Amino acid sequence: MRVTRALVFFGLLVAGGPARAQDSAPIEVVVEGEKSAPGASALTRAEVRQVPGAFGDPFRAIEALPGVTPIVSGVPFFYVRGAPPGNVGYFLDGVRVPYLYHIGLGPSVVHPAIVQRVEFHPGGYPARFGRFAGGIVSAEVTAPRDDWHGEGNVRLFDLGGVVEGGFADGRGTVLLGGRYSYTGTILSLLVPEIKLDYRDYQARASYDFGPRDRVSVFSFGAYDLLGEPKDRGLDILFGSEFYRVDLRYDHVFSRDSALRYAVTLGYDQTRLSEFRNGHDEMIGSRVEIVHRASDDVTLRGGADVTVDAFAASDLEHEDPDNPELAQRNALFPERRDIAFGGYADVVAKVARDVEVTPGLRIDLYASGGTTALGVDPRISAVFRVSDDVRIVHAYGLVHQPPSFLGPIPGLVPGDLENGLQTSLQSSAGVEVALPDDVSAGVTFFHNAFFDLTDSLSISSLDPDLTEDRRAQGYAVGMELMLKRRLTRNLGGFVSYTLSRSMRSVGRESFPSAFDRTHVANAAIGYDLGRKWRAGTRAVFYTGTPKAYPANGLIVPPRPKAPERGPAFYRVDLRLEKRWQVGKQGWLSFVTEVMNATLSKETFASGTGEDTTIGPVTIPSVGVEGGF
Amino acid sequence: MRRAFAILASGAFAASGCLVNDPRPPPGSLLVTASPDQAIATGVVSDDGWAVEYPRFLVSLGNASIEDEDGTCNHTYSDPTYQRVIDLSQGSGQKVNLAFGLGSCSLDLELSSPRGDSVLGKGVSAEDRDFMRTPASDDFVSDGGISIHVVGRATKAGVEKRFTWSYRFRVDYTTVGVSVGDQIARGLELEEDQRLTWDFPIRGAALLWDHREPSAAALRFDAIASADDTYGDGNGDVTLAELGAVPLADIAASDRYDDAASDWLTLQDFVYAGLFRRVVDANALEEEVFPNDRNPH
């Protein structure tokens, strides 16, 4: 039995599909036995390729899901059920990564060809996930394949590719992939005062020592740079990079039990200011076990420890009295953070049509001489009302150490003196399978937030982004999803979120800075025949609360129901022509436009003059191919 | 060690991927300080015989910014983006900011109400800072913070007048300079590792000027005192509102208060709109004045 066939991982049971999958890109990969956690949404790569405006990027497609509130059109950082971007956790094959997207409007930091599936957990997620007080985005890479195959693409702004094959009679595999942007070259012609550069790589090797044992190493990393070329050199406006090496040992005890042990090394770095780099050297270890005790009971458990050494390069040229510097140093002190935790849950079919998953996660945090304990009970339940109707409940308590504005490599606030961030997440919904492969769902959610380090949501227009101000709050709302797979001849989806996200600080109680009452996405894809496929997607959301700048003054509390900025909409387009090349090869010409309507986005302002940006429109013309 | 760790973590790709270290040569530094004039430091006797002193003279000054005028200055080193609230009655040479640059540069300076994180100088309390951050209105600014707050006392022939005035405008001084002998030096020549100091006088006497140009001005307090005695409530406290009751036409003569702007009608206009902005002896090529209100300007 191949290791792949019975490897249980990510809470998914993969129990069937051969490692030598003969899937060419347009065929949806569905792994037998795979199912999402209650309340989670799963996106397969084949489906994501058809989402207009996502540029074939599985992670970008997440913004179209219910519960996701964008900050700015096209920028792939978002609020999840009221939780800010800094509280959203990103995992790639179980490895925590600081971010999944290149700078600005860039693509994901891993080539889409190696992403088999992305799960989006807006709340109440399995105990396996922790240390984040918002949503979880968890990507799973494709299983190792020993048949030589590859995929590549050339677009206006970048090129990338992945190639993988086997050796030693299929016992070993090796994968290499990456992406390189030549935006620097193009921009130097169009906008010479800006230099934008990004690149990433992925490499994996695996070797099966027997039918039950596999050793593998998976390494990936990304680099981003935005600067202004000057005669004296490059002024770096933003620069960051991260790298990971994950050494793994997978063992299959039986068809029902499997273990993964892994050691992860990581290095994160971001340019702060004054050519100072804040960085994090990370080492972690984790073990995960899954055991199917019976047809009705599956046990899952694991433990992990991570040690992060945070530091910043020495300050050379800055006024030592600058309060911003003092606050920054206080927020990002040189230190060693340790997080140690364990989890366990049980997926139990307690009745013929009732499946319950109780779980518990406990994490112990230490940072700069301070410690904190997070005890996170979770429970979810699925009630099968009929073959076509399911009621899904998910509840969970989650904790997170202080976080920064968003996921930025190497910039994690230290000091647990003010405690952990906490969120009590709850949701309940109904999922209905309708005729003709159409599904629908409605979910109601309520998240209560305690002691959030949420500068983004509570700041006025002159935010003090480095201050550890804690906010309380809640988010309540309703999510709708109507979907037919985009891989069908005629497919599409409608997603809608109605929500309110509030914050309170001291005596003030006000809507979160990026609270949007209505967020809607609608997409449709149609097979035009002769391997032509066209799609379009509309995005609509209402405006954010008007901001009232303080300009340093002591000002009255903000209103609970402020005026709001105008709504925004955009339409994305996608057109693809595909050719079959030989038995397994394929070639595609893809043209895609995000914001074909050239819509401008207006931000609310308390100055009486709204700020309008854009139109931020991204055209993409490219060729993709694979074998 | 760090490099080794990065390379280990990233494979060969990291070696070229790591962010570059600082390639710039070491800059020179400019220490910006402020010192009181004689009126603040020891008190002064006006030309009309009043002994004037300032028990408190609070100024919120900062955001010193090294600028590149003609491409000869590397100003990418950090700018001290903060204000310091200083009480000039506490002494000379009080630090405002420390700025860095290299080459032929210029300097901008800002007089504005403090922010929550503004640094406190000697003798200045957090309560003082909060007071200056608390918006209030006068005849010129609605809901504005305070850039300059003075507490003064004047005596003459056994009569004492007190005045507590707050200035609620922000002044952006562009291309400032310091006096070197009879000359004004506005250009900065910053060499590697060089340490310069520019000290800006804070002129309490400016509030007593009877002319906007210091070379033509005499120090007078009679008209100010009359605002309380003749036009006000006579309680010994001279308020800005009482100055507003003194028509310039009543006190202007060929040698005093004769260079008012055309729309200035009262002594308050002359002092508030004309003299307060001259308190900081910035020798700026350009001055822009905005209300210290909530709107970013």
Residue A592 lies in a domain: yes
pLDDT at A14 over 70: no
CB atoms within 10 A of CB A395: 18
User: How far is Cα B191 from Cα A4, in angstroms, rounded to an integer?
Assistant: 65
Residue A278 lies in a domain: yes
Contact A211, A2 (CB under 8 A): yes
Contact A51, A57 (CB under 8 A): no
Q: Residue A187's pLDDT is what?
A: 66
User: How far is Cα A514 from Cα A604, in angstroms, rounded to an integer?
Assistant: 10
Residue A543 lies in a domain: yes
A461 in B contact zone (CB under 8 Å): yes
| Residues A109-161: tens digit of each pLDDT | 889 889 988 999 999 999 999 999 999 999 999 999 999 999 999 988 889 99
B254 in A contact zone (CB under 8 Å): no
Residue A551 lies in a domain: yes
Strands B83-87 and B119-120: parallel
| Residues B185-218: tens digit of each pLDDT | 998 999 999 999 999 999 999 999 999 988 899 9
Average per-residue pLDDT for chain B: 91
Q: For residue A316, what is the nearest residue in chain B, using CA coordinates? A: B26
Contact B236, B228 (CB under 8 A): yes
A318 in B contact zone (CB under 8 Å): yes
Residues of A in contact with B296 (CB under 8 A): 461-462, 549, 551, 607
Q: Residue A105's pLDDT is what?
A: 67
Closest among A285, A315, A279 to A302, alpha carbons compared: A285
Let me know how long chain A is. Answer: 627
What residues make up the domain containing A147?
A: 5-317+329-626
Q: Residue B122's pLDDT is what?
A: 96
Number of domains in chain A: 1
| Residues B53-104: tens digit of each pLDDT | 999 999 999 999 999 988 899 888 878 889 999 999 999 999 999 999 999 9
| Residues A231-290: tens digit of each pLDDT | 666 777 788 899 999 999 999 999 899 999 999 999 999 887 666 788 899 999 999 999
CATH number at residue A264: 2.40.170.20
Contacts 24+ apart (CB under 8 A), A210-214: A211/A1, A211/A2, A211/A3, A211/A252, A212/A1, A212/A3, A212/A251, A212/A252, A212/A253, A213/A3, A213/A249, A213/A250, A213/A251, A213/A252, A214/A3, A214/A248, A214/A249, A214/A250, A214/A251
Residues 473..532 of A with a Cβ closer than 8 Å to B: which? none
Closest among A381, A290, A334 to A33, alpha carbons compared: A290
Cβ within 8 Å, pair B81-A324: yes
Residues 131..150 of B with a Cβ closer than 8 Å to A: which? 133-135, 143-145
A193 in B contact zone (CB under 8 Å): no
Q: For residue B99, what is the nearest residue in chain A, using CA coordinates? A: A319
Residue A324 lies in a domain: no
Let me know how long chain B is. Answer: 297
A327 in B contact zone (CB under 8 Å): yes
Residues of A in contact with B112 (CB under 8 A): 552
Region A542-546: mean pLDDT is 90
Q: How far is B70 from chain A (nearest CA, A)?
A: 13
For the four alpha carbons of A61, A67, A71 and A77, in that order, the dihedral sign comes to negative
Residues of B in contact with A275 (CB under 8 A): 21-22, 24
User: How far is Cα B178 from Cα B175, in angstroms, rounded to an integer?
Assistant: 10
The model carries a pTM of 0.86
Average per-residue pLDDT for chain A: 87
Cβ within 8 Å, pair B10-A240: no
Q: Residue B25's pLDDT is what?
A: 86
A161 in B contact zone (CB under 8 Å): no
Amino acid symbol at B151: V
Residue A323 lies in a domain: no
Region A186-211: mean pLDDT is 84
B24 in A contact zone (CB under 8 Å): yes
B71 in A contact zone (CB under 8 Å): yes
Residues contacting residue A529 through CB under 8 Å, at least 6 positions apart: none
User: How far is Cα A156 from Cα A139, in angstroms, rounded to an integer?
Assistant: 26
Residue A86 lies in a domain: yes
